[in-house]
Every structure is written in structure tokens, then in C-alpha cells.
Structure 1
Amino acid sequence: MDVHYLVRRHIQPPLQLPFLQPLPLRCRFRGGGVTLSVACCSTAANDHQERPWESYDRDIQSHASSDLSRSLHLLADMQAAGMRASAAAYARLIRALARAGRALEAEALLLEMRHQGIHPDAAHYNALLEGLLARAHLRLADRLLLQMADDGVPRNRRTYMLLLDAYARAGRLEDSWWVLGEMKRRGIRLDTAGYTTLVRLYRDNGMWKKATDLVMEMQEVGVRLDVKIYNGLIDTFGKYGQLADARKVFEKMRAEGIKPDIATWNCLIRWHCRVGNMKRALRYFAVMQEEGMYPDPKIFVTIISRLGEQGKWDELKRLFDKMKNRGFKDSGAVYAVLVDIYGQYGHFRDARECVAALKAEKLRLTPSIFCVLANAYAQQGLCEQTVSVLQLMEAEGIEPNLVMLNLLINAFSTAGRHLEALAVFQHIKDSGMSPDVVTYTTLMKAFMRVKRFEKVSEVYNEMERAGCTPDRKAREMLHDATVTMEQMGCY
């Protein structure tokens, strides 16, 4: 089967986002077509004259986040009445459109502002920038920054924090250092959120010793350590096997009166499972529930897979019974489905039946739950079922994100179907998303599985050219592939 046909069949075509193309003043985008804003008006002319400008502008802003369609209709009515919205109203609409993934319409509003003589400021550009970065459209975000500079709009703290967070998530280490350098040059100090991002950057690039120094720096400048920073430190130490240090940070956190959240427990459980210390992992899992914390379904995959590998299905059943007794009905339903996927219960294994079972429990299906199901199938190399989860996710009106597509690559990789994995990777790029460290590393694993060692180095080089800093796993695979090729006499 043609692999590109397979991807086209199961995944929506890539979103095309032309950048800031000039549009007529009174245009609005609706479902890919263009209609005049005047056509949206259903209010009589007398009503336009009776309604004051303040009423229109206030309602546009108040409904932008809760009822975006209504705000856009109000804007159209307002313009039909010969009135012009304020800069604050445009900022609210641009931010709402960008967050909803409707970047093209947000760009159109920026152009409309210029046509009307309203000069967009940093708030308007930041609103659009936030939406582009949230959708991983890093190349479009870079072009927006150039447009921002051409318009003479200076970048502010918000601009730099959005960029730092996005570059850190994408593994673009050099770009992250550039942002930090620009902030220092302009005298913009990092706040708690900035330090949290920096901890994540150190974690993803193997700089766990720097994370320790960062805590001292924060204490010196008087920045208060919150739960997010502690979680980042615990995750950093856990990822690189420094579990004793992770536990020390956890105890320090509790000693200072900071209550652990679900992310804290997830970090502790996940990394202790990773090294096979299930006794301590299950102890943390029990304490988390005793403190009334709702278990995150994502951690179930880790616990189930590790206990399943050790053949401790009786322990799994005891955990499930305890959860039901504590009243965690929703998590219990997800837990039961996941155990079934791993082949223990045997009631059903098909993705559609699993989703139907969750719906029967009246459980709200979130992107997180779909990712959990996809990950469970992907870990076992069940490619068709992983794709089925993607289709079911789309049927629920949820757009697949980079995490979901990475899981699909992993499923094909585990099954040794590297051509399909490569096709999904190409789809990510064609969609305007920026592949992250996980994307490249998983694709490298796919080529390692089928002994295409020369492709491993090609993917590694492409990762570096894209500005994505390889992690330790990627470097180890490159080393193994290089050594193997040398032993085979291939240089």
C-alpha cells in the first residue's frame, strides 16, 4: 500500500496558512469561503442608529472568549452602522481567533486595522503570536516577528516570554539563549514563569546540574519557588536518574508548605517506574489518592505496562479495587479499558469498542484521554488501532496535535513500519507544525528498527538544521548507528 495514501486517508490534509495577504476591508472568513461582513447583518438600520458605540464595543470584548461567533457578528453589525471598533476590541478578537486555531482570520483583522488607520501595537501582535506558537507554527511566528519589526512595533516582556516558552518546548536551544540574551540586554528580568521555562529547558537538554545552580540563583534574586518550579526540578532529576535528589526536592517542597499537585506525583511515579522501583512508585500512587488527588490517566499506562511486564496482574486488580472504593469512578473506567488493551481482561480490544465503553460510563472524552489510549496501542505496535484512535478523536471534533502525531510515529516505529512513520513525519511538516525532539528521536528509532542506519544520521542532521537540540537518547542512537556502519565497512 502506498504510505502517502495511508496518511492522506487517515489524517486531514495540511492546513495552509498564507501570511498576511492583503484582503478587502470588509471581508470575513467562514469555513474556507469569503463573505462580506455586511451580509452578516440581520439588524435593521434603525436598530444600528439606536445602539450606541459603547454597547457594541463592550459586548464584542465580553463575548470574544465565550461566544466568538457572536462577537464577530457584532463587529460586522457595528461596521455596517458606520462605526469602528476600538483597538482593545480588536485585540480580544485576534487573541480569541488565534487561540481557536483560526490564524488566517486573526491576520485579516490585523490588516483591517491598518486599513482603518488603527495602528496595531504589541498587544495585537502578541495575541496572534500566542496563537501561532500554541499551534507550533514556529516558521509563521518568525515571519510575524519580522512584520512586527517592519511596522516599528517594539517587542515587550510578553513577546519574549511567549518566544522563550515556545522555543524551549520545541527544543530550539540556540533560539532560547538568544531570547534570554535579548531580555538581559533590555533589562527584562525573568519572573517565576520564566524560571520555570528555564528549568524545563535544562531538563530537556540534559543540564540537570545547571538546574541545581538555578535554584540558588532564584533564591539570591528573591524569586519565590512555586509548585511548577519544584515539579520541573523533580522531573529534571528523575529524567537523568538522580532519584535521590528528586526525593530531596520533594521533601523540601513539602517542608516549605507547598502542596504537591498531580504533576508532582506523576513525576515521582513515572521515574520510579522507569527504574523498576515499583514498590516506591505504588507507595506514591497510594499517598496521592489518600490526599484526595484525582489520578491522571496518563500515569496508568506506565504503571500497567511495568506491572504487566513483571506479571503482577494481581497487584493491578488490587489497585483497581482500591480506586473504586475511593470513588474514582472516571479514572477507574479509563484504568479498566487500559488493562483490557494490554490483554488482561479480554472483553474488547478494538479502539472503537474501548471508546464506546468510556462513553457508556458518561466520561467526557478529552484530548488527554485520546492520547492515553493511543499511547497504550502504540507501545504494543498496534498501528491500525492507533490510527483508529486518531479517527475517533477527529470525529469528536478534536484536532490532532503534535503529541498525537508523535504517538502515531511511535506506533509505526514499534511495528517496524518505517515508511508509514516517515509519511506521518512529512505530514507534520506539511501542516506547518515544527517537529520537536520527540518527533525526530522517534523517527530515528523507526530507522534503527529496520537497520537503515544511514537514515538515522540524516534525521539527526535535519534535527540540528531545524534548530532542535538533540537529547541524550538521540545522541546515543546516532553513536550506535555510526559504530554499526563502521563495523559493516560503511563510511
Structure 2
Amino acid sequence: MPHPSTPTVRQRPRSCLLDALHRHLSAGHLDLAVSILPLLARRGLRPPIHSLSLLLRRCLLSRSLPLARRILFHLNLTSLKPLYPSLTFLSNHLISLFFALRLPDRARDLFDTMPQPNIFSYNAMLAGYARMAMPRAARRLFDRMAVRDVVSWNTLIIALARHGSPRDAVWFYSRLRRSPLGFNAHTFSGLLTACVRLEELCVVRQVHGQVLLVGFLSNLIVSSAIVDAYSKCGYVSDAKRLFDEMKVKDVLAWTTLVYGYAKSGDLITAHKLFDEMPQRNSVSWTALIGGYVQNGYSYKALDLFRLMVGECVSPDQFTFSSSLCACASVASLKHGKQIHARIIRTGFHPNAIVLSSLIDMYSKCGDLVGGLWVFERTDFSNRDVVIWNTMMSAVGQHGHRRGTIQLFGLMIKVGTKPDSNTFVVLLSACSHSGLVEEGLECFRSMAKHGVFPEEEHYLCLVDLLGRAGHFEEAMDWIRKIPHGPSIRAYNALLGACRIHGNVELGKEVAERIMELETSSSGIYVSVSNMHAESGRWECVEKVRHLMEENEVRKERAASWID
């Protein structure tokens, strides 16, 4: 017992705050740990760099980006920024944070100023490039690396597989196999992603054989990934065979098989498997809902959505998008509004796909005002090119063609870069409004925006000129199509000839189509109808004789009424 006159020893504020920081960090209370940082800053105190690095790492692992932002703010506030490059452990986590915040330039700037980046620094950059869909940058960095581990190889393979270079991913895998590093389960996950992109059964089977050979088939992640690859490549029977051989089946394997059967149109088997699942998550529900939507059973998809919500399974971005597509396909504004209300009521933060689906749903249900309401309440920073394209298309479909052009001007003004679909929407709007000069100007401006004309753009242009009666110009543009004139382009011009009664050019165009596709009865019928509408019955008879000579039979219309 202390003497009454002995003064009480109090802990210094620095010790109290740092102890609290370490205590909350150890307990996993990240929000409480981060809340102590401003208190330390006010007193001019700096926590150990190791503690800050660990706190930042845990925020990244738990995907708590708002908390990670606050840590970054604290680091900048306490004049630690100049020290970043020399603090390798901290810098590695900051690189990951910058990529998570979609700031690749800041990540690259920090990496370039590091005096001695280690293998973890390089791997953080590779992972960031993979996440940001920057495979070329990832490959350039990989080529610079003096030392690589299996994580480096796996990350590059995944980046290439997911973002447009699946054959390169397979090539790098073959290089890794010949290296002394070996491979692991994650290597096969990246390789199988490449197989899905290639849609080549022989490659999937080769990978399956290699997995079996090295003894990785018992790995649940790998076996589920092979089931997924077979299923997504359209070989559901192979997927089911492997699925039946699996001793342990996770929700991914079940969901993949449900998706495969639904995609192939076998909804009975898909639903049967879904009912047999021991556990179901939002992805499982979405796979079946999406299958019903893709196969035209929209009301069944909406029934499933109601059951999902009734079982207290929270819909994700893809669930909402698929369900809204179902509403749009049957023009059910009532169901669409109910889903929209649920999004608002539950505080769900819709991404660009869901916002686009909402705009599209309102438009196709005849409520353009509802679509505009969603569009106008979407912050400019969140309006990506898909949202702009959807809104422009909706405005055009409701007859406000010039409104589409005005929206395009606003889109450029706010700095959103157009894509290929943007110009398809614009050219289609000009075509249906007879805005020939505007359409031609739009087509010529594509290169300025970094978009190169594809067949779809030429088809819109031919349709625009044909509808306006500019037949010679339309023929000139058909000849300019990069891979040569197509049947679709000639068909667009043939339709315009029929509208304007230009029988002579129609016959010439029809002959071109017959040269490309001799067995189609549709072209003969179109020419016959053009002659009939002009009262040239002798020509109608000649076309019919020509069909008989070429042994072309008119396809009979099917009737569902007995």
C-alpha cells in the first residue's frame, strides 16, 4: 500500500493513445484504431511506422477503403509523405491503396521513387495493373523484373487472361512450367480463366489432364475452376462428369453447374440442381435468374427474385441488373418500380451496370421521365460511357433524336470518352430522323475520339443514306467496309430500295446478295415483293422460276394454332 504522501503516477497521454491504438489494432477494431490517429496528430505525436503499415494492410484486406483513405490523409498531414520511398514496407501497402482508389499514376510515381523496391513492391504493382485492366503495363513491368517468384508469374497470367490476351497467358504458363519455380493452385486458376476466354475444349482438357497429373485435382479451388471452365465453354456434360467425381463440392462448383445448364437452355436441370444445393448465396440465385431471363422466361425470373428476397438473401449488382432486364423485356413498369424502390430503401449503392439497367427498364416500359430521373441523380463522376450510351439510346427510341445528339455534346463536354457503341447509338438516331449531314459528320468524327469504324457503323451509315434516298453514296460506303461488302449491308440498302421503289438498284443489290448467299429464300421473296408492289407481275413470275431452277424453297411460316 503506497504511502499517503506518495503522488499518484499517471500514464502520459502519448502512452495512453498509443496503447489504445495497439489494443484496437490487435482486437481488429479498425474503425476505433483509425479514430485515434487525429488525436495523435493534434498532440504532434507520430505512431510507429510499423503500426501504421499494419493498420493500412488490414484495412486493405478488409476492403475498408474509407478507413484507408483516412490513414492516407493522416500520413500526408504528419509530413510523412517525403519519407514514403525509403519506407519500403509502408510504400508497398500504399501502392496497393492507390490502385484500389483507381489512382495508377500515383502508384507508379511512388514506385519509381523507391530506392530499393523489393519483390513485394513489384508484385503489388503487377496486381494493381491486373486489377485496373492494364495488361501491357503489367507485361512491361514483368520484363523489367530481375527476380520473380510464382506470385509474379500468376499475377501476370491472370492479368493477360482476364484482359484480352488469353493466348499470351497460356504461353507464359508454358514458360513457368519449364522454370525451376514450379506452380501452385492459383496458377491453374489463372490458366483456366484463359481457357474460358479461348473457348477451346482441347485446351481445357489439357489443363484438366495436367492438374490430374500433378495431383491438384483434390484442391477444391482448382477442381471448381475446371468445372467452371467446362461449363462456360459450353461443355456442360464434361463439367457434370467432373462435378460428380468431386468428393467435396463448394457453392462455386454448384453455382457454376447451374449457370452452365441455364446458359445452354436446359432450365429444368438447372432448377433441379439449384433445389439440391445444400447452400445457396446471391451468386447462385443470380445464375438461375439470369438463365431464365436469357431464355425468355422473364416472369419466372421475377418470381425467383421475390423468393430470393423472401429467404433474406441480399441481391447483388448482377441480381438487380438481371431482374431489371426481366422487367424491361416484358415492359413491366410495376415490377421495375418495386425493384428500384428496394434499391433505394435498403441503401444499396448501384454500380454503372445497375444504373444503366434502371434507365433501360424505364425507357422500355415507356417511362422516359423515370429514366431521366435516374440519370440526372447519378453524379457526373459516376456516369461512365455505358450510362451515357443507355440514356442516349433511350432518348432516341422515344423519338427525341436531336436530344440524343445534344446528350452526346454534353457527354464530351464533361470529359467522358465515347466508345464504339456511342457512335452506333448516334448514327442510328440520325438514320431514323433523316439527319444525313449530322450522321456523316458523326461518322467522320470517330477517329478524333479514338474510335475506329467497324461493320456496325458502316451498316448504320448505309441505312441512313438509303433511307434518305442517297443510293449511289450508300453503295460507295458499302465498298469501303474494311473486310469487304457484307450481306447485312446489302440487305439494309435493299430495304431502302423497297421503301423508295427503286426496283432497278434493288435488282442489282439482290444479285450481289445472291452471289454471297445463294441458298437463302428471303432475298428472292424481297425482290418478288418489290416487283409486285410496282405491278410487274411478269417479273414476279421470273423470280419464282429462278427459285425453282436454283432449288430454293420458301420457308413456311409456323402457326401455333391448330
Structure 2 length as normaliser, TM-score? 0.51
Relative to 1, partners in 2 of residues 1:344 and 1:160: Cα closer, same or farther, differing over 3 Å?
A: same
Contact 2:236 2:260 in 1 (8 A): yes
Q: Which residue of 2 aligns with 1:85?
A: 117
Measured in 2, the distance between the counterparts of 1:71 and 1:318 equals: 42
Measured in 2, the distance between the counterparts of 1:135 and 1:141 equals: 10
Relative to 1, partners in 2 of residues 1:166 and 1:107: Cα closer, same or farther, differing over 3 Å?
A: closer
Measured in 1, the distance between the counterparts of 2:399 and 2:206 equals: 40
Relative to 1, partners in 2 of residues 1:274 and 1:110: Cα closer, same or farther, differing over 3 Å?
A: closer
What stretches of structure 1 of length at least 5 have no aligned partner? 1-46, 426-445, 453-480
The reply to whether residue 65 of structure 1 matches residue 96 of structure 2 is yes
Letter in 2 for 1:91: N
Measured in 1, the distance between the counterparts of 2:201 and 2:345 equals: 44
Contact 2:355 2:387 in 1 (8 A): no
| 3-state SS in 2 of match to 1:195 | helix
Contact 2:298 2:327 in 1 (8 A): no
- Measured against aligned partners, the alpha-carbon deviations of 1:138-189 in whole angstroms (never above 9, x if no partner) come to 3443554566578765444433321111221331332222222333333332
Q: Which residue of 1 aligns with 2:520?
A: 484
Letter in 2 for 1:94: L
Measured in 2, the distance between the counterparts of 1:374 and 1:122 equals: 46
Relative to 1, partners in 2 of residues 1:129 and 1:482: Cα closer, same or farther, differing over 3 Å?
A: farther
Q: Which residue of 2 aligns with 1:272?
A: 292
Measured in 2, the distance between the counterparts of 1:190 and 1:372 equals: 45
The reply to whether residue 293 of structure 1 matches residue 314 of structure 2 is yes
Relative to 1, partners in 2 of residues 1:136 and 1:192: Cα closer, same or farther, differing over 3 Å?
A: farther
Measured in 2, the distance between the counterparts of 1:381 and 1:143 equals: 50
The reply to whether residue 113 of structure 1 matches residue 145 of structure 2 is yes
Alpha-carbon shift at residue 271 of structure 1 (Å) = 3.1
Equivalent of 2:455, from 403, 418, 422? 422
Equivalent of 1:342, from 359, 364, 382? 364
Alpha-carbon shift at residue 98 of structure 1 (Å) = 3.9
Equivalent of 1:244, from 248, 261, 268? 268
Contact 1:297 1:369 in 2 (8 A): no
Letter in 1 for 2:98: D
Equivalent of 2:378, from 349, 354, 359? 359
Measured in 1, the distance between the counterparts of 2:366 and 2:223 equals: 44
Equivalent of 2:155, from 122, 127, 142? 127
- Measured against aligned partners, the alpha-carbon deviations of 1:51-109 in whole angstroms (never above 9, x if no partner) come to 799x6321232222112555544544442xxxx33223222223323433444544444
Q: Which residue of 1 aligns with 2:302?
A: 282
Measured in 2, the distance between the counterparts of 1:193 and 1:368 equals: 33
| 3-state SS in 2 of match to 1:62 | helix
Alpha-carbon shift at residue 112 of structure 1 (Å) = 3.8
Measured in 1, the distance between the counterparts of 2:322 and 2:358 equals: 13
What stretches of structure 2 of length at least 5 have no aligned partner? 1-78, 100-104, 433-438, 440-451, 459-484, 492-516, 525-546, 553-562
Which protein has greater RCO, CA pairs closer than 8 Å, 6+ apart?
1
The reply to whether residue 99 of structure 1 matches residue 139 of structure 2 is no
| 3-state SS in 2 of match to 1:246 | helix
| 3-state SS in 1 of match to 2:215 | coil
Contact 1:301 1:376 in 2 (8 A): no
Contact 1:107 1:128 in 2 (8 A): yes
- Measured against aligned partners, the alpha-carbon deviations of 1:235-260 in whole angstroms (never above 9, x if no partner) come to 2222233222222222212xx2x133
Q: Which residue of 2 aligns with 1:230?
A: 254
| 3-state SS in 2 of match to 1:67 | helix
Measured in 1, the distance between the counterparts of 2:390 and 2:330 equals: 17
**Larger CA deviation: 120-129 vs 139-148:** 139-148
Measured in 2, the distance between the counterparts of 1:217 and 1:390 equals: 57
Measured in 2, the distance between the counterparts of 1:330 and 1:70 equals: 27
What does residue range 197-236 of structure 1 map to in structure 2 within 5 Å?
197-218=225-246, 222-226=247-251, 228-236=252-260
Measured in 2, the distance between the counterparts of 1:212 and 1:387 equals: 52
Measured in 2, the distance between the counterparts of 1:102 and 1:212 equals: 35
Q: CA RMSD in A?
A: 5.3
Alpha-carbon shift at residue 449 of structure 1 (Å) = 5.0
Q: Which residue of 2 aligns with 1:136?
A: 164
Measured in 1, the distance between the counterparts of 2:220 and 2:406 equals: 39
**Larger CA deviation: 299-308 vs 274-283:** 274-283
Letter in 1 for 2:455: L
Letter in 2 for 1:340: Y
Alpha-carbon shift at residue 395 of structure 1 (Å) = 6.5
Measured in 2, the distance between the counterparts of 1:166 and 1:177 equals: 13
Contact 1:164 1:180 in 2 (8 A): no
- Measured against aligned partners, the alpha-carbon deviations of 1:207-237 in whole angstroms (never above 9, x if no partner) come to 333333333111xxx23321x2222222222
Letter in 1 for 2:325: T
Measured in 1, the distance between the counterparts of 2:356 and 2:157 equals: 36
Contact 1:297 1:372 in 2 (8 A): no
Measured in 1, the distance between the counterparts of 2:408 and 2:337 equals: 28
Letter in 2 for 1:298: S
Letter in 2 for 1:285: F
Whose Rg is larger? 2
Relative to 1, partners in 2 of residues 1:123 and 1:277: Cα closer, same or farther, differing over 3 Å?
A: closer
| 3-state SS in 2 of match to 1:92 | helix
Relative to 1, partners in 2 of residues 1:317 and 1:160: Cα closer, same or farther, differing over 3 Å?
A: closer
Equivalent of 1:195, from 207, 217, 223? 223
- Measured against aligned partners, the alpha-carbon deviations of 1:408-437 in whole angstroms (never above 9, x if no partner) come to 889999x999x9653789xxxxxxxxxxxx
The reply to whether residue 179 of structure 1 matches residue 228 of structure 2 is no
Q: Percent same amino acid at aligned positions?
A: 17
Contact 1:97 1:103 in 2 (8 A): yes
Contact 1:341 1:376 in 2 (8 A): yes
| 3-state SS in 2 of match to 1:126 | helix
Relative to 1, partners in 2 of residues 1:339 and 1:141: Cα closer, same or farther, differing over 3 Å?
A: closer
Q: How many residues align?
A: 367
Measured in 2, the distance between the counterparts of 1:288 and 1:334 equals: 22
Contact 1:377 1:386 in 2 (8 A): no
Relative to 1, partners in 2 of residues 1:259 and 1:347: Cα closer, same or farther, differing over 3 Å?
A: same
| 3-state SS in 2 of match to 1:185 | helix
- Measured against aligned partners, the alpha-carbon deviations of 1:252-293 in whole angstroms (never above 9, x if no partner) come to 12xx2x1331x3333333333455545433221222233252
Contact 2:328 2:365 in 1 (8 A): no
